[in-house]
Amino acid sequence: MSIRGRFAILGSMALIAVACSGGASTPPASVAASQPAATGGTESTAPTASASAAPIAGGLLEKILKSGKLVVSTDPKYPPQSELEPDGTYKGFDIDVATEIAKRLGVTVEFVTPDWTAITAGGWGGRWDVSVGSMTITVDRKKVLDFSPPYYYTPAQMAASTHSGITTLDGLAGKTICSGEGTTYDQWLNGTLDYGTGQDLGKPPAGIKSTTLPTDTDCPDQWKSKRFDFDGWLSSITTVDGAIKAGLPLVKVGDPVFYEPLAVAVDKKGPADTDFMPILSKIIADMHSDGTLTAFSQKSFSADYTVAAK
Amino acid sequence: MVAPLAARGPLGLGPGPEAIVRAVAASRRSARLRFRLVFLATWIVLVGGIVLLIGSTGRVDLDFLNTWTPLILGGIPITIAVSVTAIVFATMFAILGALGRLSRVAPIYAAATLYVSLVRGTPLIVQVFFVFSALPEFGIVLPAFIAGTFALSFNYGAYMTEIFRAGIQAIPRGQIEAAASLGMTERHTMRRIILPQAIRIVIPAIGNEFIAMIKDSALVSFVGLHELFWFARTVGTSHFQAFSTLTLAALVYWALTIFFSLFQERLEKRMAASDVRL
């Protein structure tokens, strides 16, 4: 427990430093609120600019401001969004975004790492406050989680093993396609992905079978191990690019099959969040308009994924 | 040494009884030594073979491990802390469970039997998930460490219940009668006569369970506890080096179990001291 706490604190300290130096070119939207966190993570109990009205008693905002820290769930098996450094700190796009949100709330950030399926299932029991984990807003998840507006959008990219020789989407027809457990990619492959916006998300190649492994990157890793139980892999373009960069035996197949709005999530069963969500939404809107998110996206992905592509 | 003794045989001047005892002892010693040497050689060959086999895949990246090993090994204290805490609480669950299983009060017997049946009849990983993610639905929110160790100890407690029950039942009935004749109450007999002896009997088995626990503690990575397996898996997956990191983790688990097995062997010898006939 103590070790985990130490890592989290070390992580948040280092990341605050990173975020400060990285975001120096773009002035923070609420300078007053960001000061306490910027000066080395001292706890702030002073009311922030964004929280001028008294927070709901026992609510999420009160909890965060009182404890002086934002507890964020992250999955460090998911670079370049979230990964570990050799010294045990975290880095990545989601880590940058979470750190910046905490900074603008005037609190420090702390990361916890429950299993992805435990995050998407809701019922967090107050053990963490928000998920800044590139989570797609879907109808099913909306039943248990409240979402902020999207902070970025990633294309979903189909890939195939070089071993299969497949180079087109049609070539995957009738084949088995792998994706991560509990991901929107698995839902899309099974035709159950629904954003609740009536948007047409297209259809997978005819007659495909889907299979899952615990996390997205497990799929191409099987090909590296010379297991070819499946020929295709569906994941975020950022993850697919990472695998290709790491020299794994796969190729991208076709154009992105659909686009995902990714947002910060809050547990519906947790402390009341009706005063927190507008503040969170405002922070994200500010981070869009002042270029902070674009800068983070360029830094982690060498591309700007902060604008809806479709 | 043996040859001259045998040579003297036909002359009717056979070796004295002491010489024979010495010769037999010497031959046993050398046989034991030979056995140990062959044992060691076999291990070296087999382990060397496994290492070569793993190395031949070309998937163990030593440069990568060089960078990441300190972080991964940083999970060992949590692994040991989880295992030790869980075995302590599992022992408590087991004592309660065993007393319940031996109770003549129907509801207590029923509850203890249900506990053993339910916990042994469901997968440990499901129990870990239930304690971490389903209990909050009932307003019971356990922090990761407590949730993880509770799930492990509750599970192992059920298995160890049967071990304890056997240990208690192994105490001869005559002792209970003797205690009764001294005027001890049933509760007193249990606490003063039966449990102390039963615990002596089951301690080697607890050691065994502990060694199993070290490995099953990997399951609590599900709740986000940063133990050995969590680090190995997280680091390995995100860099497509799971083969390297999981091999490392396997070696560490193996080393840990060897270490604790030696400890357990000594404990077992000590516990058996009273059974040795002089």
On whether both A164 and A195 belong to a single domain, the answer is: yes
pLDDT tens track for B79-137: 999 999 999 999 999 999 999 999 999 999 999 999 999 999 999 999 998 998 888 88
CATH for A200: 3.40.190.10
At residue A147, what are phi and psi to the nearest 5 degrees?
A: -115, 145
Task: Summarize the confidence of residues B214-239 as an average pLDDT.
Answer: 94
Instruction: Tell me the three state secondary structure of residue A121.
Output: coil
Displacement of CA B243 from its chain's centroid (Å): 26
Question: Which residue ranges of chain A lie beneath pLDDT 50?
Answer: 1-51
User: In this prediction, what percent of chain B has a pLDDT beyond 70?
Assistant: 95
* B156, pLDDT greater than 60: yes
On whether both A163 and A268 belong to a single domain, the answer is: no
Give the range of the structural domain holding residue A254, as residue numbers without chain letter: 154-260
On whether both A162 and A58 belong to a single domain, the answer is: no
Residue A61 lies in a domain: yes
pTM: 0.82
pLDDT at B10: 52
* B170, pLDDT greater than 90: yes
Rounded Cα–Cα distance for residues B234 and B231 (Å): 5
From A1, A3, A77, residue closest to B238, measured CB to CB: A77
The residue of B54, B221, B226 whose CB has the most chain A CBs within 10 angstroms, and thus the best one to mutate to test that interface, is B226
* Chain A contact present for B150, CB below 8 A: no
Average pLDDT, chain A: 85
CA angle A69, B143, B209 (to 5 degrees): 145
Residue A309 lies in a domain: no
Strand partners, A176: A209
pLDDT at A232: 97
On whether both A11 and A133 belong to a single domain, the answer is: yes
Instruction: Look up the ipTM and state it.
Output: 0.78
Range in A223-227, B11-15, B224-228 the model is least confident about: B11-15
Confidence of residue B269 (pLDDT cuts 50, 70, 90): confident
Do A123 and B133 make contact, defined as CB atoms within 8 angstroms? yes
pLDDT at B264: 87
On whether both A137 and A16 belong to a single domain, the answer is: yes
Residue A310 lies in a domain: no
pLDDT at B58: 84
CA-wise closest residue to A60 among A199, A265, A248, A240: A265
On whether both A272 and A212 belong to a single domain, the answer is: no
Query: How many domains in chain A?
Result: 2
Do B144 and A112 make contact, defined as CB atoms within 8 angstroms? yes
Do A86 and B68 make contact, defined as CB atoms within 8 angstroms? yes
Q: Which secondary-structure segment (H or E) carries A255?
A: strand A250-267
HEC assignment per residue over B184-211? CCHHHHHHHHHHHHHHHHHHHHHHHHHH
On whether both A35 and A49 belong to a single domain, the answer is: yes
Rounded Cα–Cα distance for residues B32 and B117 (Å): 46
Task: Summarize the confidence of residues B211-233 as an average pLDDT.
Answer: 94
Residue A234 lies in a domain: yes
Closest CA–CA distance from residue B68 to any residue of chain A (Å): 6
The answer to whether the CB of B153 falls within 8 A of the CB of B173 is no
Displacement of CA A280 from its chain's centroid (Å): 15
On whether both A165 and A24 belong to a single domain, the answer is: no
Instruction: Tell me the three state secondary structure of residue B90.
Output: helix
Task: Summarize the confidence of residues B223-235 as an average pLDDT.
Answer: 94
Rounded Cα–Cα distance for residues B163 and B4 (Å): 55
Q: Which residue has the tokens 């609420």?
A: A30
pLDDT at B59: 84
On whether both A265 and A225 belong to a single domain, the answer is: no
pLDDT tens track for B30-55: 999 999 999 999 999 999 999 999 98
Residue A39 lies in a domain: yes
Rounded Cα–Cα distance for residues A241 and B117 (Å): 49
The answer to whether the CB of A45 falls within 8 A of the CB of A66 is yes
On whether both A84 and A191 belong to a single domain, the answer is: no
On whether both A142 and A283 belong to a single domain, the answer is: yes
Residue A222 lies in a domain: yes
Task: Summarize the confidence of residues B18-28 as an average pLDDT.
Answer: 92
* Chain B contact present for A93, CB below 8 A: no
Rounded Cα–Cα distance for residues B17 and A229 (Å): 72
Residue A36 lies in a domain: yes
From A118, A125, A215, residue closest to B141, measured CB to CB: A125
Closest CA–CA distance from residue A233 to any residue of chain B (Å): 15
Rounded (10°) CA dihedral B95, B97, B100, B102: -70
On whether both A79 and A180 belong to a single domain, the answer is: no
pLDDT at A12: 42
Residue A308 lies in a domain: no
